[in-house]
């Protein structure tokens, strides 16, 4: 978006509570004019949660008594500005990043982008709403307990929570120093991931920062864990059904779905606020709160000050317990690429949170609180609407599985279908261009289960015909290609007879769509199964009439 479009949308949205500090239209225009247009984020406009430093703009962490003027950008912000992005302003938040509701701020409760009577989610409330309402291209948040994911779900956008340490937290007001992450909100997954990757990389000023570790590529049929039904009790009306639909869509996208008892993870989640780890919040800003408690949000102040009473013995005991729960959780998920859950459990109104600020907030983090404690990566994505409000799901994976989670999310958001080909559509064969033109990409070379026969058909160009048999079958070589749903439909619609699309079982036991031949076309067609595949048949010595059309 252009600066004029951004500021026009900010004015039209009339959501002043989303912002704590907003730059002038003229200043942003002037900075955009100096950006090198060849940079990867050239001219993109972004917002920054107000616990992240931007040079020349006050940092308040939503506490006016805490205000200071930074003389340099946080490392994450500096890297984005170096890539051509321009800061529009600082966004509102739950004070000292303590909350998942977006209402704990003297600058006002941030209203939901879709329903102003409901919460936006926190603590990165203003950043999420700014993105959802199109006021910026993307925004930065932070995440300790779910603050980069819950607001994404409640506002219908993407929230990327990188593995701890991938994005340095230099220049970030700490909530829990060892558990904090800088996160990204965007309406588009590709942009969110691009921004996250630009911010990645160690920083000498942040001793907890670390480089990415390469993980194995995502398999063609990844295994995704989902909670057992009892762990979905208590979801908002319609959410359990919406989650079930999302699970079905992941399965259609090629994932193997397995139910897992995630009790160890949920028990670990409780330790973030109910255990001794809340002492980190006191270590971060406790002295300031003691000096200014009367000027601060009472719920935030009570939570943080309670951390002062935690003992070293309690911390040691909770650390040991957390390690055990983490090991148990890893064992349950060891064969899975990711855990799929609802992002949060409900979407309360502003009045419901005001009536029970602690209880309402505690329900929000059931599926998010454990991620940073157990060193997980996570991504929150939209999954439709329920009763006129956004519903979101979340993929959580091991440390450094960030790219794999993004690929899984992309398969869900932009469904792709697979097809098995055995003849003229193989790589290098005369009709392969049709797959490429439809947006197809080669996934793997493989074989069918040993239940098929292959015949040479009398067509132009020459093609084989695959048929399934009850006995005397063999494995037939071919390729699996992946196409976007629209491209798949276009491709299949153009297939002439006698070819048809049916289900083909592969050697690994999975089933995909694939080319089969109508029975009438196989009458008198030579059986070439003993060659093991079309390429081997074409390469074998044969009579002139068997020369392939593309030779």
Q: What is the pLDDT of residues 276-332, one digit of tens each?
A: 999 999 999 999 999 999 999 999 999 999 999 999 999 999 999 999 999 999 999
Annotated active-site residue in 49, 90, 161, 463: 49
- If one counts every other C-beta atom within 10 angstroms of the C-beta of residue 190, the result is 13
The fraction of the chain above a pLDDT of 70, given in percent, is: 98
The whole-model pTM stands at 0.84
What's phi and psi for 65, nearest 5 deg? -70, -15
72 noted as active-site residue = no
> Which residue(s) pair with 419 in the sheet?
481, 513
Q: What is the pLDDT of residues 380-427, one digit of tens each?
A: 999 999 999 999 999 999 999 999 999 999 988 888 788 999 999 999
Annotated active-site residue in 123, 125, 337, 377: 123
Annotated active-site residue in 120, 147, 209, 337: 147
pLDDT at residue number 549: 44
217 noted as active-site residue = no
Distance CA 251, CA 247 (A): 6
Domain 3-413 sits in CATH at 3.90.1300.10
For the chain, the average pLDDT equals 94
Long-range contact set of residues 501-508: C-beta below 8 Å, sequence gap at least 24: 501/419, 504/420, 504/448, 504/452, 504/466, 504/468, 505/448, 505/449, 505/451, 505/468, 506/420, 506/446, 506/447, 506/448, 506/449, 506/480, 507/446, 507/447, 507/448, 507/449, 507/450, 507/475, 508/221, 508/446
> In the structure encoding, which two tokens stand for residue 408, read together?
């899984």
Start-end of CATH 3.90.1300.10 domains in the chain: 3-413
Distance CA 351, CA 363 (A): 15
Distance CA 434, CA 490 (A): 10
Band of residue 72 on the pLDDT scale cut at 50, 70, 90:
very high
Dihedral sign, Cα of residue 290, residue 291, residue 292, residue 293: positive
Provide the 3-class DSSP secondary structure of residue 224. Answer: strand
Residue 378 near residue 341, CB atoms below 8 Å: no
Start-end of CATH 3.10.490.10 domains in the chain: 416-546
Distance CA 21, CA 179 (A): 26
CATH number for domain 416-546, candidates 3.10.490.10, 3.40.50.2300, 3.40.50.12780, 3.40.920.10: 3.10.490.10
503 noted as active-site residue = no
């Amino acid at each position: 978006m252009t600066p004029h479009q951004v500021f026009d949308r900010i004015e039209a949205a009339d959501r002043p509570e989303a912002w704590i500090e907003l730059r002038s239209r003229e200043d942003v225009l002037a900075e955009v004019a100096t950006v090198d247009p060849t940079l990867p984020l050239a001219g993109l406009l972004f917002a920054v949660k107000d616990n992240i430093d931007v040079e020349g703009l006050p940092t308040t962490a939503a506490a006016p008594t805490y205000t200071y003027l930074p003389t340099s950008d946080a490392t994450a912000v500096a890297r984005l500005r170096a890539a051509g992005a321009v800061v529009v302003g600082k966004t509102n938040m739950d004070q000292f990043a303590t909350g998942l509701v977006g209402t704990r701020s003297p600058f006002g409760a941030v209203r939901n982008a879709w329903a102003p009577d409901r919460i936006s989610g926190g603590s990165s409330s203003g950043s999420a709403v700014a993105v959802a309402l199109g006021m910026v291209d993307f925004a930065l948040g932070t995440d300790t307990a779910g603050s980069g994911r819950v607001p994404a779900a409640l506002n219908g956008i993407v929230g990327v929570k990188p593995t701890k340490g991938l994005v340095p937290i230099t220049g970030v007001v700490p909530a829990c120093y060892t558990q904090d992450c800088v996160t990204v909100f965007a309406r588009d997954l590709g942009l969110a991931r691009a921004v996250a990757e630009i911010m990645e990389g160690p920083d000498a000023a942040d001793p907890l920062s670390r480089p990415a570790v390469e993980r194995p590529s995502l398999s063609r049929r990844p295994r995704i864990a989902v909670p057992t039904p009892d762990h979905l009790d208590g979801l908002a009306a319609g959410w359990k059904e919406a989650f079930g639909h999302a699970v079905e869509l992941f399965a259609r996208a090629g994932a193997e779905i397995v139910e897992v008892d995630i009790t160890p993870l949920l028990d670990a989640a409780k330790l973030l606020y109910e255990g001794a780890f809340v002492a980190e919040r006191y270590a971060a800003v406790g002295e300031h709160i003691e000096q200014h408690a009367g000027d601060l949000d009472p719920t935030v102040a009570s939570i943080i000050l309670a951390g002062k009473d935690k003992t070293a013995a309690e911390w040691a005991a909770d650390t040991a317990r957390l390690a055990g729960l983490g090991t148990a959780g890893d064992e349950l998920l060891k064969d899975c690429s990711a855990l799929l859950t609802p992002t949060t459990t409900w979407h309360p109104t502003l009045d419901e949170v005001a009536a029970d600020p602690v209880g309402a907030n505690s329900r929000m983090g059931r599926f998010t609180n454990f991620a940073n404690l157990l060193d997980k990566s996570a991504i929150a994505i939209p999954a439709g609407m329920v009763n006129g409000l956004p519903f979101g799901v979340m993929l959580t994976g091991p440390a450094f599985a960030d790219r794999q989670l993004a690929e899984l999310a992309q398969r869900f958001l932009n469904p792709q279908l697979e097809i098995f080909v055995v003849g003229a559509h193989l790589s290098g064969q005369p009709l392969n261009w049709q797959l490429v033109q439809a947006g197809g990409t080669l996934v793997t070379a493989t074989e069918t289960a040993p239940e098929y026969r292959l015949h040479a058909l009398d067509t132009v160009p020459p093609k084989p015909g695959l048929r399934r048999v009850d006995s005397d079958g063999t494995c037939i070589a071919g390729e699996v290609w992946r196409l976007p749903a629209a491209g798949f439909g276009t491709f299949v619609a153009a297939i002439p007879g006698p070819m048809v699309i049916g289900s083909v079982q592969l050697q690994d036991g999975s089933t995909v769509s694939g080319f089969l031949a109508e029975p009438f076309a196989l009458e008198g067609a030579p059986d070439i199964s003993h060659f093991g595949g079309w390429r081997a048949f074409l390469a074998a010595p044969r009579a002139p009439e068997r020369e392939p059309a593309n030779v």
